[in-house]
Amino acid sequence: MVVGVVQTAARIPLARPVLDEEMSEAAIHALQNERFVGGESVHKFEEEFARYCGTKFAVSTASGTAALKLSLIAVGVRGGQVLTTPASFVASANSIIHAGATPKFADISIVDYNIDPAEVRKAIGKDTKAILPVHLFGYPAKVDQIREIVSDRGTAIIEDACQAHGASYKGKKVGSLGDVGCFSFFPSKNMTVGGDGGMVVTDKESIAQSVISLRDCGRAKGSKYLHDLVGYTERLNTVQAAIGRVQLKHLDAWNGKRKQVAYKYTELLSDMKELITPPEGNTLVNPVYHMYVVRCEQRDNLKAWLDQAGVETGIHYPAPIHLQPIYKKMYGYIGGEFPNSETLSKGALSIPMHPSLTTDEVKFVSETIHEFYGHMSKQ
Ligand SMILES: Cc1ncc(COP(=O)(O)O)c(C=O)c1O
């Protein structure tokens, strides 16, 4: 049945963060029984997150941006260049500037929307201190191919896994594929801490130790008021770590539900010539569908149509990073430099994706999209 726009009542949100009783109780318990900063929950959350990712260390931070910035400082990018993708949230590149380096871009593959290793090979130079691939929309980037390119150069790989908690590539969790992995717990992510938060994961003790110090005012190990780095106050609060511990327990189940939603959308939408559904996983690539992004004709009209039908959508992102006003101003980009990223920005539409979406809601969204193109073809 095709449901008409006017008949709709229910509003279907783009994302729906979970806060249940267990999380509230964990938060209150932490507030009443632990130090507000640096409490036991922080250490436990870090241990559990490291175990989950399969890395030796996890260091929590105040945000995903802080995780990226502190990791970049820890691997020593200051004064050099860092290569990243223009198709990401602006924080991926901002963190490079915050760390005292210059962001350089390499275009994405138009198939999986992640940085294209062939473009990395072309763009890498003697000043490239690190590569920062982003696992965009929860789909793992080809970090092994990037590793091959940098293997004899000593260039660090810092994964921006802010949208990909739990995704894996060739049997390894994202975050553990490069030298460092960075996560965000902003409320729209696959798991949150009930506010801003981030995590750095790594097998390298020296990097973990630097981030521990940098997030905590540059304190020397074991000292209260001796500082051997110029650090920041970018720690994760105890109450948020306590919420994060509960969320982490649910992450795999939630990701499983996201996958079911994604499969259903793809089943219902893949017959449409006006629209390209997201890349699918396979035996080697296990995506976690942070977002379900279609590329479509008449994107803005479709967005308005869905909006009227009570379906919330998003555009991730209306401009690639190099065409953000501040990047144009600072680096002189004018458009046309990274055509695949620009194509993605022009056609991308994120439709509702979260673990609590029902099959009926998925069908309703899909039918509303069909109805739009049916309507347009009669115009
Ligand atoms: C790809 C990507 N990188 C970095 C960030 C920054 O994370 P945060 O908002 O926690 O600073 C985000 C989140 O918004 C993101 O999606």
Q: Using the predicted structure, report yes or no on whether residue 191 has a pLDDT greater than 60.
A: yes
Atom of ligand 1 at shortest range from CA of 68: 4
Pick 107 or 379 by higher pLDDT: 107
* pLDDT of res. 346: 98
pLDDT at 166 over 60: yes
Task: Tell me: pLDDT of 102 over 90.
Answer: yes
pLDDT band at 152 (very low <50, low <70, confident <90, very high): confident
Paired with 158 in beta bridges are 180
User: Which tokens go with 162?
Assistant: 């802010």
Residue-wise pLDDT tens digits, 109-125: 999 999 999 999 999 99
In this predicted structure, what is the pLDDT of residue 187?
94
Place of tokens 């990712």: 53
pLDDT computed for residue 4 by the predictor: 29
- Model pLDDT, residue 203: 98
Q: Which atom of ligand 1 is nearest to the CA of 290?
A: 16
Q: Ligand 1: does its nearest atom lie under 6 Å from the Cβ of 163?
A: yes
- pLDDT at residue number 379: 76
Q: Is the CB of 196 under 6 A from ligand 1?
A: yes
Please report the pLDDT score of residue 63 as a whole number. Answer: 98
Distance 182 CA to ligand 1 centre (A): 9
Residue 29 CA to residue 327 CA, distance in Å, equals 44
Mean per-residue pLDDT, 275-302:
97
pLDDT at 7: 37
Omega prior to 317 cis, within 30 of 0: yes
pLDDT category of residue 359 using cuts at 50, 70 and 90 = very high
Give percent of the chain above pLDDT 90. Answer: 93
Residue 197 CA: nearest ligand 1 atom is 10
pLDDT recorded at residue 201: 98
Distance in Å, CA 9 to ligand 1 centroid: 33
Q: What is the 3-state secondary structure (H, E, C) of the chain?
A: CCCCHHHCCCCECCCCCCCCHHHHHHHHHHHHHCCCECCHHHHHHHHHHHHHHCCCEEEEECCHHHHHHHHHHHHCCCCCEEEECCCCCCHHHHHHHHCCCEEEECCECCCCCCECHHHHHHHCCCCEEEEECECHHHCCCCHHHHHHHHCCCCCEEEEECCCCCCCEECCEECCCCCCEEEEECCCCCCCCCCCCCEEEEECCHHHHHHHHHHCECCECCCCCCCECCCCCECCCEHHHHHHHHHHHHHHHHHHHHHHHHHHHHHHHHCCCCCEECCCCCCCCEECCCCCEEEEECCHHHHHHHHHHCCECCECCCCCCHHHCHHHHHHHCCCCCCCHHHHHHHHHEEEECCCCCCCHHHHHHHHHHHHHHHHHHHCC
Residue 5 pLDDT > 80: no
Per-residue tokens: 255: 């990701």
Q: What is the pLDDT of residue 1?
A: 29
- Over residues 257-285, the mean pLDDT reads 97
Q: Is the CB of residue 163 less than 8 Å from the CB of residue 138?
A: yes
Task: Tell me the C-alpha distance between 119 and 117, whole Å.
Answer: 5
Q: Residue 6: its pLDDT value, please?
A: 32
Q: Is the pLDDT higher at 17 or at 40?
A: 40
For residue 184, give the ligand 1 atom closest to its CA. 10
Query: For residue 154, what pLDDT is reported?
Result: 87
Q: How far apart are CA 303 and CA 349, in angstroms?
A: 7
Distance 20 CA to ligand 1 centre (A): 24
Q: Which residues of 43-75 are buried (b: 16+ CB within 10 A; e: fewer)?
A: eebbebbbebbebebbbbbbbbbbbbbbbbbbb
pLDDT recorded at residue 3: 30
Instruction: Return d(Cα 167, Cα 254) in angstroms, integer.
Output: 12
What is the average per-residue pLDDT within 259-268?
Answer: 98
pLDDT (tens digit per residue) in 80-101: 999 999 999 999 999 999 999 9
40-83, pLDDT tens digit by residue? 999 999 999 999 999 999 999 999 999 999 999 999 999 999 99
Whether the predicted pLDDT of 10 surpasses 80: no
Q: Pick the range with the lowest mean pLDDT from 18-22, 44-48, 60-64, 278-282.
A: 18-22
The mean of the pLDDT values for the chain is 95
